[in-house]
Structure 1
Amino acid sequence: MTAPPSATSPAAPSFRDVRGRGFSRRSTLDAAWTWIDGRIAPPSARPLPLAECGALVLSEAVAALGDWPPSARAATDGYAVAAADTLGAGSYNPVPLAGALAVVAGDPLPPGCDAVIPYEAAQAAGPVVEAVDAVAPGSGVERRGAWMAAGSPLLPAGRRLRPADLGLLAAAGHRILPVLPAPRVRILLAGGPKAGAAEQLGDMLAALVRRDGGTVEAVAPLPADIDALADAFTRPGADLILSAGRTGTGPDDVAPPALAKAGSLDFHGIAMRPGGSAGLGQAAGGPVLLIPGEPMAALAAYELLAGRAVRHAAGLPAGLPHATVQAVTVRKLVSEIGCVDLHRVRLDDGGRVEPVASPGWPGLAAAARADGFVLIGADSEGVPDGGAVTMYRFA
């Protein structure tokens, strides 16, 4: 996805404690994406058993090890026959089939047979099978190599493996595959007794991480304490850390100074709504993403920032994974210049969208009613009535 244009400076600021002061400036979404793209990469490829490869990404292209099927076989239940023996058969002229052999779909074709006549086109007359319809050579048969020939390409590098892919690869003779292991993502819920919405986030963020190819190493609630958070940021065992909550300007918004203490806080404050108090940095050599604790702000910050990081770490395309719909607006979508706005919208049967809440409206209820979201760039005051937009559809 191309970054929406932004009107603020792309440079990453040095750490500044915004508690009790507010944000004097915010970095662009472009700059945050550049930081993510430059610092996060998938781990090295590893051979894994086929059964463990579902939803992982192939690190190399895969070819067929042999023909499939390895020999001609029945494609339907019926009788294996020589097609020439059925010539002239009809309901008023049954033709005896002395060499007919009963087969089920998947059985190898017996020698001397080149077709399978279905049960509906045959009848048993005592011990003799009679054809009541003629079949052509190859009818009801899967020929050798019909699915794939030895050496033919099956799946490209970068493919995220689907369940059907595993079946295909098993049929092709593969038992071990070169894949990118799923990144281990630690989710921290920074809160304490005043957490409010923070405890709502664990299940949502874990589901989003899995959608984007990661595996959840832990979901850990923590108090609003700088030392406790700094320790969690530096503890080994995760490839990527998402910390939700305590990212704002209040006296107990301790996540940014905790990250600065544990390593580096490279960004704090992104020109986007909601989710503008998000931050990016590193601890113990690994990336850490700070997202707000308000649930809708957390969802937006995940979609536009953290999700990109998880997809990079999983070896998937970095852009938004949502299907898109081209639509027009029912009424104006109002935006704030200098800030990328994420509007939750509903799509009607006529291909028109209308907002279900403003970007600044909190809570997930509006997201649950929405069909997707529209992004408005930082250089725009909004989209007028009847304006063309791209909607990113919620899965």
Structure 2
Amino acid sequence: MDGTDATDAANASNRRSSGFKTRTQVAEARRQLLEDISPHERIDDLSLGRVDSRVLAESITATRAVPNYERAAMDGWAVQARDTFGAGDRSPKVLQVADDTAESVPDTPVGPGEAVRVHTGSALPDGADAVVMIEQVTQVGTEIEVFDAVTKHENVASVGEDVSKAQSLYDPGHQLRPSDLGLLKSVGHDRVSVYERPTVGVIPTGEELVQSDPGPGEVIETNGLTVSHLANRWGGITTYRNVVTDNPAALRAAIQRDLTKDVVVTTGGSSVGTRDLVPEIVDTLGSVSVHGVALKPGHPVALGVVEGTPVIMLPGYPVAAIVNAVQFLRPILKYMGHLPCESPPTTSAQLSQKIPSEPGVRTFARVQLEATVTDTDTDTDADIDNATSTIATPTRTSGSGVLSSVALADGWVIVPESREGLSAGETVSVEQWEWST
């Protein structure tokens, strides 16, 4: 054993003897980690076809107006509005057809007492200042009868009605949506500057882990796979590494290799057992600010920073790894990549049974949702008299190693630190965390 390994062993022994006598609150743990890091400032210049869901790194203004010409807002006839004044059902105004070719961009100008056929979106002919809807016109040979008067600019989209030239559209930090891409193209932008997606190295640890065909004492590696895809969904670009055994030198090398990433995530080896070496190794390379968080399942999470790179050390139990990934990896990725960190959607439901919890600990209880229909009127079977409610049934209130309890759940109920459990029949918010981005 060299000097470094001896130091790691001594630190591990100290932590194992002390255990988790104190556990940091979730909000405080997150605050401490965010305090020690900064968002990256790397930028990509990309075409519009590649920036959906990306975050703008520049202000965007319109380089041209939309529309950039006066256009018909309805199918009908372009006219001079004053020629229609007084038109009605019993006394139509008669105008001469100057052009009836129905072209999308008619070239024929409109003079006094004349009309030109136009379609929605076509340019308004010179001389015209309004459009009569086709439903209000009857054509008789080379003349039309107008049965409804129009005012100046009626049924006409003026220049810049949608967007004016040089109008400010978006600020840096805006996450682009498909509708934004259409608007950007319409105002003359083919490329924009966006922040690069943050990079993540995911390192599964544990000598018992295998990728397939487990033998006695072996376990299929799932945490790294799950966390890698969650990180991608949350805006990261993930490198999913091979399993690293519980060897100090191997673990140290794996962590140092991924310090080129924006975030390093390890799974397993984060507690205080004899093979839980990761926090001690991170502490020798940098610093561990949090080891043990007041949440359940998954309190043996550790958070640290090495050379400016956040290192999130997730527990080895699958549910504990997922809970902590949502609580810590997701906000870190959003922060590092300038991404908005919106709360996941929730569904209001009624608990079918009690959920126990420990005071001072934030508890995540996995639940399934079921819609029930109650007949509120005994005199009729009409659907209008039926009420729908949603019932939340816990799939598991304990057991952080039971992956199916999350995979088969619709979400989880968060019991706050201030509560000692939730009662059956209580209305709760079910956080559908896996639907969020």
Q: Give your verdict on TM over 0.5.
A: yes
- The amino acid across from 1:228 in the alignment is A
Deviation readout 1:212-233 (Å, 9 max, x if unpaired): 22222x1112222322221222
**Structure 1 SS opposite 2:328:** helix
1:123 and 1:361, CA in 2 relative to 1: closer, same or farther beyond 3 A? farther
Higher RCO (CA < 8 A, seq sep 6+): 1
2:262 aligned with 1:265: no
* CA distance in structure 2 between the partners assigned to 1:281 and 1:174 by the alignment: 42
Instruction: Determine whether 1:67 maps to 2:65.
Output: yes
The residue type equivalent to 2:407 in the other structure is A
Q: Which residue of 2 aligns with 1:220?
A: 241
Residues 67-126 of structure 1, C-alpha deviations (whole Å, 9 max, x = no match): 2111122446x4552264778598x98976333443265443332344556777778888
Given that residues 97 and 130 in structure 1 are in contact (C-alpha distance below 8 angstroms), is that contact kept between their aligned partners in structure 2? yes
Please say if 1:231 is aligned against 2:253. yes
Q: What is the correspondence of 1:1-395 to structure 2 with a 5 Å cutoff?
A: 17=13, 18=15, 22-44=19-41, 46=43, 48-51=45-48, 52-75=50-73, 78=75, 81-82=78-79, 84=81, 97-100=97-100, 101-103=102-104, 105-115=120-130, 136=150, 138=153, 141-194=156-209, 199-216=221-238, 218-224=239-245, 225-235=247-257, 236-318=259-341, 321-347=343-369, 348=371, 349-394=388-433, 395=435
Q: 1:79 to 1:234 in 2, by over 3 A?
A: same
Whether the aligned pair in 1 keeps the contact of 2:345 and 2:432 (CA below 8 Å) is: yes
8 A Cα contact 2:318 2:400, kept in partner: no
- What is the CA–CA distance in structure 2 between the aligned matches of 1:132 and 1:204, rounded to whole Å? 67
| Corresponding letter in the other structure for 2:324 | A
- Please state whether the residue corresponding to 1:265 is helix, strand or coil: strand
The answer on whether the counterparts of 2:263 and 2:311 sit within 8 Å (CA) in structure 1 is: yes
Q: TM-score, normalised by structure 1?
A: 0.81
How many Å separate the matches in 1 of 2:300 and 2:390?
Answer: 33
Distance 2:405 2:312 in 1: 25
Whether the 8 Å CA contact 1:212–1:314 is kept in 2: the answer is no
Instruction: Describe the superposition over 1:136-160 as per-residue Cα deviations: whole angstroms up to 9, x where unpaired.
Output: 4556543211211234332244321
State whether residues 246 and 252 of structure 1, in contact with CA within 8 Å, keep that contact through their aligned partners in structure 2.
Answer: yes
Q: Which is further off, 131-140 or 99-108?
A: 131-140
Query: Are the equivalent residues in 2 in contact too, given 1:374–1:391 (CA < 8 A)?
Result: yes
RMSD over equivalenced CA pairs, Å:
3.4
Identical pairs, percent = 27
Which structure 1 residue ranges, 5 or more long, are not aligned?
1-14
Give the greater-gyration-radius structure (CA): 2
**Residues of 2 paired with 1:338 and 1:201: CA distance?**
27
Give deviations 1:278-307, integer Å, cap 9, x for gaps: 111122331110112322111101111111
- State whether residues 83 and 134 of structure 1, in contact with CA within 8 Å, keep that contact through their aligned partners in structure 2: no
8 Å contact from structure 2 (residues 209, 220) kept in 1: no
Amino acid across the alignment from 2:337: A
The whole-number CA distance in structure 2 between the counterparts of 1:147 and 1:172 is 10
Post-superposition shift, 1:197? 5.7
Determine the C-alpha separation between the residues in 2 that align with 1:343 and 1:312: 27
Change (3 A) 1:118 1:324: same
Deviation per CA, 1:29-57: give whole Å up to 9, x if none.
Answer: 13311112212332126362342433222
Report deviation, 1:272.
Answer: 1.0
Deviation per CA, 1:336-383: give whole Å up to 9, x if none: 123210112234441443322214353332223333222112232112
Deviation for aligned residue 1:248: 3.0
Alignment length (residue pairs): 378
After TM superposition, the score normalised by the length of structure 2 is 0.74
C-alpha distance in structure 2 between counterparts of 1:180 and 1:118, whole Å: 47
Q: 1:105 to 1:33 in 2, by over 3 A?
A: same
